[in-house]
Structure 1
Amino acid sequence: MATMLPLLLLFLSLPSLALSLNQEGLYLQRVKLGLSDPNGVLSDWNDRDDTPCNWTGITCDSVTRSVTTVNLSNAGLAGPFPTFLCRLPSLSTISLPNNSINSSLTLRISTCQNLTYLDLAMNLLVGPIPQTLPDIPNLTSLNLSMNSLTGDIPNSFGLFRRLETLILTANLLNGTIPAVLGNITTLKSLELAYNPFVPSRISPEFGNLSSLENLWLSGCNLVGQIPTSFARLSRLTNLEVSSNNLSGPIPTLIFQLTSLVQLELFENSFSGHLPAGWSNLTALRRFDASKNELVGTIPDELCELPLESLNFCDTQLEGSLPESIARSPNLYELKLFNNRLNGTLPNDLGKNSPLQILDVSVNQFSGEIPPNLCQNGVLEELLLISNSFSGNIPASLGKCRSLCRVRLRSNQLSGEVPAEFWSLPHVYLLDIGENSFSGHLSNMISGASNLSVLDISKNQFSGFIPNEIGSLGTLVEFSGSNNKLTGQIPATIVNLGQLGTIDLSNNELSGEFPPGIQSLKQLNELNLANNRLTGEIPVEIGSLLVLNYLDLSGNYFSGKIPLELQNLKLNKLNLSNNRLSGVIPPLYAKEVYRDSFVGNPGLCGDLAALCPRTGGGKSQNYLWLLRSIFILAGVVFIVGVVWFMWKYQHFKKTKKGITISKWRSFHKLGFSEFEILDCLNEDNVIGSGASGKVYKTVLHNGEIVAVKKLWGGSKKDDTSVDLERDAFEAEVETLGQIRHKNIVRLWCCCNTGDCKLLVYEYMPNGSLGDLLHGSKGGLLDWPRRFRIALDAAEGLSYLHHDCDPPIVHRDVKSSNILLDGEFGARIADFGVAKIVAAVNKRAESMSAIAGSCGYIAPEYAYTLRVNEKSDIYSFGVVILELVTGRRPIDPEFGEKDLVAWVCTSLDQKGVDNVLDPNLEYSTFKEQICRLLDIGLLCISPLPINRPSMRRVVKMLQEAGADNKHKVAKKDGKLSPYYYEDTSVPGSAV
């Protein structure tokens, strides 16, 4: 009677249910009732059918017509695990990955007695793993990865008798890895990576897994050494124990694992020499021992293996590179950067193998560059930074049309660069600075149509800069300082609309500015110091609103300083040692700018010791003038002291003032701290948050600044005070040293007894989040959104790759991207930023999660490891916001976030259903899809699959340049490009 009650309730709840539907269909209808189906995936589960065999996701036995498989992956279903599935007597497969199954996993799942395959990956499961799972007698595959399961792996798992695949990666399992897993002798694949297990050793019992082929234990807090019992794992093809705390020498037992194809040992503390015996591993294709403490030489026998990838980055290897490495027939990627290797590169390197990537940067190599590196015509990346290579660039490299990235900086190379080398069509980064190259820049450079960065600084190049450089439409940076270049700046340079940096200082250039410089709207840095340039400074420079570095010193410029320069927000201005005359613009006629104008005999102004005094006069007149100055200075001093004391007493009496205990400025300022304090009233508040208020302050000179006042008070406990101090210090130390057009400028800061003040440049259009999701969202058409994405990416790329040491923001979100008057984007709010110390060998672990809901990378939530890949994930969410117009967390998503909603919608409904309907995207749809594709790469669940920010910038630039880049599709739906990021942190990128 009890078993009939659920069926009776089912009939009562479904009055229209046809009596023809069989028993299994009735059970599945009950499953449907228990799940939320916002996408209508189960809409064809029709109660008028005889059987469910034609329903979506249902497979039946061809003979008995019984349900054998329920496959509803990527369906967007939500609710508890549907235990009614376990009433299907012939059910062998349950596949529900990438849904929102959101409860604890009930013990009743063990009643699915005929299951052989259970996949619940990428859901929202919480709580412990049921101990009863081994009661399913025929289960061969169990995948519970990427959920929020906690606690231990049950000891009962040792009772599995047929299990071949166990995947528990990326959960919150925080117990120990039980030794009883070694009892599952049928296991072929064991994946436990990226769980916050308590520190423990690898169980020797794992050596009993005689059938094991794949073992993935990365990021499991493992300590100690690899057990000697692993020598018995004769079928093992993949051994990954990276990102742990394993120590000791690399054990020789690995040479008994003759089936190994991939060996990942990076980010540990392995020490000692590389052992002998590599010739036994004839199947090995990839070996990565980066970020360890290895010493000694690379064994010849290792180099004779047909490796696909060999990586010893960030180790301490010493010695030369054996000639035998050149004989590796399948070697396509050789990375040995950041070691202590010396000697010469093998002369035949690349001759007998399809070499694609060679990175031996930051070593002690010498000799010439081998001529056969591109013998097979597939070399893409050549990085030899910071060695002692000498001689010429081989002529054969000028014919290597496959090259994309070339960095030969900081060597002893000399001679002329082969003419064809300048014209390689796919090179986007050409860095040959800090060598002794001579000769001219070839006009064949017009063939380098993909070039973004050209750095030839600190060489001995001479002659004219060719006019053909103006045809490089993708050029972003041109650095040619410290050479012997002559002639005029080519007029065609104004055609380079993407150009952000021009540094041609310390050359012998002459002539006037080329007309049309106002077209360089993206120009951030202009450095022409110490040349022989003449004529007037063009007034058009004042229209380059993103320019923040202007150095024209040491030339022969004449005439007046354009008043239009006051339109710029400059971090550096240097017009010294020219022939300028007239009046200094009022904004710069201050003592703090004096050094910017010295050495101009005809320049007049009120700055002391700047302008020469003319006319005769007697000595007593000078004495009288000097005496008057001293008297006036004394009066001013006394008045100032009296005024200060009065102001101080007034502040103390009213308790409304603030005593300045510390004042630090990071730029030349035209205002004082007292002027800032006078403007801090509630009428000027433009924002408020958990950390304090933000005020809009209009100064006496008309300049507008934003002042962040951090909360103070004496009622906080010591922990709160420490956190507040840490946030203040983090923001000050981080922003105080940054100079970039896409990072918000910190003018100065005040550290007082009652509060702390940070004074920033004012962003009139507020934050991206407020504008995008507020009533003014219509102001953000697609071109503006795309520019915002590129600006923000360049800012983050600067933090990750150009700061030393690198900086991880840790709270990238749309509300921390501010917009100037032209909707240019700047990264802001560095209160939780982390400067990653160069001495750190692995990502630092933090004591608490920093970030904002909806933006936090999945691995960050359970490992708390500071890593630039976390910023990249958050930036991917920002891209999804720009494309969809939706917030990262929205009630419409239910328990999902924007990432899950986009991925589900793309799979089920296609790309048109996720694009912001407010966009007129008919014209820009291809570019919008490209940006969406980049965003999907950034939110990849595994950090290693996310591109570096430098790569993101490159992809965005390519999308903006309208290259032949197509959106990849699979089964008619959008899918991200396959991408493998080779920019490992610490690499000489």
Structure 2
Amino acid sequence: MLLFFFLLCLTLSPPLLTQSLNQDGLYLRRVKLGLSDPTDSLASWDDTRVDTPCHWRGVSCDPLTQRVTSVNLSHWQLSGPFPIFFCRLPYLAQLSLYNNSINSSLPLDISTCRNLTDLNLGSNLLVGAIPATLSQLKNLKSLELQENNFTGDIPASFGEFTQLESLSLFNNLLNGTISSSLGNISTLKELRLAYNPFQPGQLPSQLSNLTNLEYLWLSGCNLVGEIPESLTRLTKLTNLDLSFNGLTGSIPSSITEMKSIEQIELFKNSLSGELPVKWVNTTTLLRFDASMNQLTGTIPNELCELQLESLNLYENRLEGTLPESIARSKNLSELKLFNNKLRGGLPSELGKYSPLQTLDLSYNQFSGEIPEVLCEKGSLEDLVLIYNSFSGKIPQSLGKCRSLRRVRLRHNLLSGSVPEMFWGLPHMYLFDLADNSFTGQISKSISGANNLSSLLVSRNNFSGSIPDEVGLLSNLVEFSGDGNKFAGQIPGSLAKLSQLGNLDLSENELSGGIPEGIESWKNMNELNLANNRLSGEIPSEIGNLPVLNYLDLSGNLFSGKIPLELQNLKLNVLNLSNNRLSGELPPLYAKEMYRGSFLGNPGLCGDLAGLCPKTGRSKNEGSLWIFGLIFLLAGVVFVVGVIWFYVKYQKLKKTKKGMALSKWKSFHKIGFSEFEIADCLKEENLIGSGASGKVYKVLLSNGDVVAVKKLWGRAKKDDSSNESQRDEFEVEVETLGKIRHKNIVRLWCCCNSRDCKLLVYEYMPNGSLGDVLHSSKASLLDWPTRYKIALDAAEGLSYLHHDCVPPIVHRDVKSNNILLDAEFSARVADFGVAKVVDGVGKGPESMSVIAGSCGYIAPEYAYTLRVNEKSDIYSFGVVLLELITGRPPIDPEFGEKDLVKWVCTTLDQKGLDNIIDPNLDSSYKDQICRVLEISLLCTNALPLNRPSMRKVVKLLQEATAENKSKTIKKDGKLSPYYYEDPSDNQILV
């Protein structure tokens, strides 16, 4: 019996004899109760078998006392207000809640966390003012509150910190002033206040009291006035970043007295005057960037004598020559001096001693020969010398530079033959030799350029035949060889280039016919073969190219009939003039508006004046002609009378309907009458409705289908809404009326009358990407289709940013504004809030209201109301994430996060498989991963770190290539997958 009792006690002993959880653990349990934990990251905090929390996830203790000293809950998707019970832990020194969704405002009694030395609440959703009581944490050494929504001032009490070494407040909504009291924190080593909408003000001179400061980041802080001379006192400063401000005056010479400085960033200000001449005391300087200012004078020789890694002085007014001393820098990897007035030759030893990677000297007046040793170290990736006066030949040594990725030598005075090996560099994706005087032939070695997407050799003196090897460049998107002396036939291998979107071989001496098999040209947008000696019949397959909108075959020897299949095309430009074509015109084109497209073809017949040859008439025919003319005039008078009566009647009828169709304007050659649009605006044709009006599907008498957006012209409630609708209409018309691109929705015509405003677009049968992707139709979008949609939309936006003059910023990029045709090709649509840029390089323009849609708006736009093309790129990155995840930009499942934050946190905690839409085929996982990397680049919190749209297109094209293994660094720095395209001039609105 005793033995049984003893065994029973042993059975019951664990719960009875376990020591209770200590006080630190009880406090942490209270912390958990106050937080939402959707991923069960705090599950280990429920363990009842322990007496201390020291083995709980994210908790660290002193090994001797077993008291909690550190809690790190970063990236755990936690939400809720700041848990004040943390402050009950008497020995807690380090607390990090970085990258969660901690919301509400910080409590004033956070000052009770007496022993904290490190507090990191960055990348959360905290709002309100920063508590002044934080300064009572006398042991605090690091305070990180960046990337929240704090407003107001930096508390003046922060000047009372006695041990603080690092203060990070960047990317908030702080709209007061930069407190001069910060100059009292004598222990401060790092101060990061960048990208806050502070009130315009000068850089406080008191900051020069921070003699221990090593890192000063004040980008985008609305700083004005001059840079204080007193900065010289910051003798330990290694990094000074004052970029994206409104600083004026000259760069103070005292800046060269900073003996520890390694990086100076002054780009995008309004600095003027000359660069400081004496740089002897800044021997530690590695990076100097004063680009996008108004600097004048010459580049100092002493600055170039420093062992710089990067020198960026682009978009200024600098003159003179490039000092020879720059060639002796053993560390130089980046030299960008484009958009200045520099002249003379380049140092002959440039690149001989330095690992030069990027050289961009575009838009200057440089002359002489290209140095032979530019790629001596084998590191050169970007060689951009466009719009200068360089002469001579391309150095033979560049043919051995296998690191080259981008070569742009357009618009110089270069001549001679291109080195044989230069054509076939394996990593080259952009090869631009246009507007020079090169001779010789395109080498067959071009087959080695596997990544080439743009081959631009226009307006040179190249001759001979185009080699078949060009047809092996499977990634080729653009081939422009116009204005040369190419002869022979167009290689049949070109028909295999399925990615080819632009082929321009006009103004050459090509013969033969258009090659067979051009059905592969599914992406062909522009085909220009004008002014050659091409013959034979025009292949009917051209009419089946789905996105072709520019066709010029004029000035050749084409014969036979015009294929009826050309009527399938939606062309902005059609030119078949000056050939030997015969027969009847296709009915769609037998109209006066197309007459100029067919002139110079004596064999063509139709009702269009000037096409058919004239024949002589006999005298009897002459008299018959006179009588016929009399009857004709009588008939005309009768018809005119009937038409006048009918028009008057119709005008009265339309007025009664509240719709006057008297102000029509067409932007393309259209095959329908605008007036038949009105009769089709019936409720049974309604396909969409919104705050600004309705959208109708209209089937026209010629069989075409169009979409008609009807905006009400008279507001019912107030004048302000009427004003906004007028603005939307005018912006849409002015923008789309002049755009010609296969990935921009076409505006056929418009009507602007007193009572209504009509916009007539091409009809997109599959609706918007958002409607398809977030509905039961999502199964229609496999990964290849989604990828094609992404590339199409990117090319459309790239056209707006880089090819329109002036450039255009869309400002409302979202999946609902990307429309899909019958083949799921994408068009960018809805330009009601688009912004036309008056000039590249102008300062950002503040908008009176935020344009855009929730979940797509770039962070900087939301609090600065400043927009440039980087805002479009952020929004496009969100669209990419929608395509990858299948999720909308805002979803209740995300809590208070948006799609971007949800992806980042899920990627860190659960991995890639929990992000990708489960409907997608896993065999495409590698491609999806690469597109995910591109989307994360596009949604980078800092606008400067987002690639240009032209670069995005290139990255997407590369995403389908094999053997890619590039990744994004978790610290937020740029991956090797991205580099800025300095010649894609940034658009600033």
TM-score by length of 1: 0.96
* Structure 1 residue 839 displacement after superposition: 5.1
**1:956 matched residue in structure 2:** 956
* Structure 1 residue 975 displacement after superposition: 11
1:123 alignment partner AA: N
**Residues 577 and 56 (structure 1), Cα distance of their counterparts in 2 relative to 1, 3 Å cut:** same
Q: 1:920-977: CA deviations, max 9, x gaps?
A: x2221211222122212211111222222122111111122x3211363889x99984
Q: Would the aligned equivalents of 2:743 and 2:827 in 1 still touch at CA under 8 Å?
A: yes
Q: For structure 1, which runs of at least 5 residues remain unmatched after alignment?
A: 1-14
Q: Would the aligned equivalents of 1:561 and 1:584 in 2 still touch at CA under 8 Å?
A: yes
**Residues 461 and 976 (structure 1), Cα distance of their counterparts in 2 relative to 1, 3 Å cut:** closer
Q: Would the aligned equivalents of 2:840 and 2:985 in 1 still touch at CA under 8 Å?
A: no
Residues of 1 paired with 2:631 and 2:434: CA distance?
Answer: 55
Q: Would the aligned equivalents of 1:411 and 1:434 in 2 still touch at CA under 8 Å?
A: yes
Partner SS, residue 411 of structure 2 = coil
Q: Would the aligned equivalents of 2:80 and 2:103 in 1 still touch at CA under 8 Å?
A: yes
**1:223 matched residue in structure 2:** 224
**2:12 matched residue in structure 1:** none
**2:964 matched residue in structure 1:** 965
**Residues 309 and 696 (structure 1), Cα distance of their counterparts in 2 relative to 1, 3 Å cut:** same
- Cα RMSD after superposing both structures: 1.9
**Residues 650 and 901 (structure 1), Cα distance of their counterparts in 2 relative to 1, 3 Å cut:** same
**1:476 matched residue in structure 2:** 477
Q: 1:109-161: CA deviations, max 9, x gaps?
A: 11100000000000000111001000111001111111011111111111111
Residues of 1 paired with 2:321 and 2:973: CA distance?
Answer: 44
Are 1:233 and 2:243 an aligned pair?
Answer: no
Partner SS, residue 727 of structure 1 = helix
**1:56 matched residue in structure 2:** 57
Q: What aligned pairs does 1:173-322 form with structure 2 within 5 A after superposition?
A: 173-322=174-323
Residues of 2 paired with 1:740 and 1:256: CA distance?
Answer: 53
Q: Would the aligned equivalents of 1:45 and 1:55 in 2 still touch at CA under 8 Å?
A: yes
* Structure 1 residue 637 displacement after superposition: 3.4
2:822 alignment partner AA: G
Residues of 1 paired with 2:73 and 2:986: CA distance?
Answer: 45
Residues of 2 paired with 1:724 and 1:496: CA distance?
Answer: 45
Partner SS, residue 45 of structure 1 = helix
Q: What aligned pairs does 1:433-444 form with structure 2 within 5 A after superposition?
A: 433-444=434-445
* Structure 1 residue 622 displacement after superposition: 3.8
Partner SS, residue 407 of structure 2 = strand
**1:786 matched residue in structure 2:** 787
**Residues 420 and 30 (structure 1), Cα distance of their counterparts in 2 relative to 1, 3 Å cut:** same
Partner SS, residue 86 of structure 2 = helix
* Structure 1 residue 72 displacement after superposition: 0.4
**2:664 matched residue in structure 1:** 663
**1:353 matched residue in structure 2:** 354
* Structure 1 residue 378 displacement after superposition: 1.3
Q: 1:779-805: CA deviations, max 9, x gaps?
A: 111111111111111111111122222
* Structure 1 residue 434 displacement after superposition: 0.7
Residues of 2 paired with 1:970 and 1:173: CA distance?
Answer: 29
* Structure 1 residue 755 displacement after superposition: 2.0
**1:127 matched residue in structure 2:** 128
**2:646 matched residue in structure 1:** 643
Are 1:672 and 2:670 an aligned pair?
Answer: no
**2:980 matched residue in structure 1:** 982
2:911 alignment partner AA: G
Residues of 1 paired with 2:512 and 2:584: CA distance?
Answer: 24
Q: Would the aligned equivalents of 1:711 and 1:756 in 2 still touch at CA under 8 Å?
A: yes
**Residues 504 and 622 (structure 1), Cα distance of their counterparts in 2 relative to 1, 3 Å cut:** farther
Residues of 2 paired with 1:144 and 1:253: CA distance?
Answer: 32
Residues of 1 paired with 2:979 and 2:869: CA distance?
Answer: 13
Q: Would the aligned equivalents of 1:255 and 1:281 in 2 still touch at CA under 8 Å?
A: yes
2:244 alignment partner AA: S
Residues of 2 paired with 1:282 and 1:631: CA distance?
Answer: 95
Q: Would the aligned equivalents of 2:811 and 2:852 in 1 still touch at CA under 8 Å?
A: yes
1:607 alignment partner AA: L
**1:525 matched residue in structure 2:** 526
**Residues 714 and 868 (structure 1), Cα distance of their counterparts in 2 relative to 1, 3 Å cut:** closer
Residues of 1 paired with 2:307 and 2:640: CA distance?
Answer: 80
Q: Would the aligned equivalents of 1:385 and 1:988 in 2 still touch at CA under 8 Å?
A: no
Partner SS, residue 756 of structure 1 = strand
Q: Would the aligned equivalents of 2:713 and 2:757 in 1 still touch at CA under 8 Å?
A: yes
**Residues 608 and 384 (structure 1), Cα distance of their counterparts in 2 relative to 1, 3 Å cut:** same
**1:727 matched residue in structure 2:** 728
* Structure 1 residue 818 displacement after superposition: 0.3
**Residues 378 and 624 (structure 1), Cα distance of their counterparts in 2 relative to 1, 3 Å cut:** farther
Q: Would the aligned equivalents of 2:287 and 2:309 in 1 still touch at CA under 8 Å?
A: yes
* Structure 1 residue 627 displacement after superposition: 4.6
* Structure 1 residue 826 displacement after superposition: 0.7
* Structure 1 residue 690 displacement after superposition: 2.2
Residues of 2 paired with 1:366 and 1:967: CA distance?
Answer: 38
* Structure 1 residue 661 displacement after superposition: 4.9
Partner SS, residue 414 of structure 2 = strand
Are 1:396 and 2:400 an aligned pair?
Answer: no
Residues of 2 paired with 1:644 and 1:968: CA distance?
Answer: 67
Q: Would the aligned equivalents of 2:967 and 2:977 in 1 still touch at CA under 8 Å?
A: no
**2:622 matched residue in structure 1:** 619
Residues of 1 paired with 2:552 and 2:627: CA distance?
Answer: 39
Residues of 2 paired with 1:739 and 1:252: CA distance?
Answer: 50
1:91 alignment partner AA: L
**1:5 matched residue in structure 2:** none
Residues of 1 paired with 2:440 and 2:177: CA distance?
Answer: 64
**Residues 167 and 17 (structure 1), Cα distance of their counterparts in 2 relative to 1, 3 Å cut:** farther
Q: Would the aligned equivalents of 2:338 and 2:361 in 1 still touch at CA under 8 Å?
A: yes
Residues of 1 paired with 2:874 and 2:431: CA distance?
Answer: 29
**1:342 matched residue in structure 2:** 343
Residues of 2 paired with 1:635 and 1:703: CA distance?
Answer: 33
Residues of 2 paired with 1:970 and 1:40: CA distance?
Answer: 26
1:692 alignment partner AA: G
* Structure 1 residue 374 displacement after superposition: 1.1
**1:26 matched residue in structure 2:** 26
**1:97 matched residue in structure 2:** 98
Are 1:897 and 2:895 an aligned pair?
Answer: no
Partner SS, residue 550 of structure 1 = strand
Residues of 1 paired with 2:659 and 2:968: CA distance?
Answer: 61
**Residues 496 and 986 (structure 1), Cα distance of their counterparts in 2 relative to 1, 3 Å cut:** closer
Partner SS, residue 964 of structure 2 = coil
Q: Would the aligned equivalents of 2:152 and 2:176 in 1 still touch at CA under 8 Å?
A: yes
Q: Which is further off, 441-450 or 266-275?
A: 441-450
Residues of 2 paired with 1:589 and 1:945: CA distance?
Answer: 52
**1:43 matched residue in structure 2:** 43
**2:849 matched residue in structure 1:** 848
1:966 alignment partner AA: S
Partner SS, residue 462 of structure 2 = strand
* Structure 1 residue 448 displacement after superposition: 1.3
**1:6 matched residue in structure 2:** none
* Structure 1 residue 640 displacement after superposition: 2.7
Q: Would the aligned equivalents of 2:420 and 2:445 in 1 still touch at CA under 8 Å?
A: yes
1:422 alignment partner AA: W
**1:142 matched residue in structure 2:** 143
Q: 1:751-787: CA deviations, max 9, x gaps?
A: 1112211111110000000001112111111111111
Are 1:913 and 2:943 an aligned pair?
Answer: no
**2:76 matched residue in structure 1:** 75
**Residues 63 and 492 (structure 1), Cα distance of their counterparts in 2 relative to 1, 3 Å cut:** same
* Structure 1 residue 716 displacement after superposition: 4.9
* Structure 1 residue 354 displacement after superposition: 1.3
**1:3 matched residue in structure 2:** none
* Structure 1 residue 608 displacement after superposition: 2.3
* Structure 1 residue 247 displacement after superposition: 0.2
**2:4 matched residue in structure 1:** none
**1:880 matched residue in structure 2:** 881
- The count of corresponding residues between Structure 1 and Structure 2 is 970
Q: Would the aligned equivalents of 1:215 and 1:238 in 2 still touch at CA under 8 Å?
A: yes
Residues of 2 paired with 1:499 and 1:325: CA distance?
Answer: 41
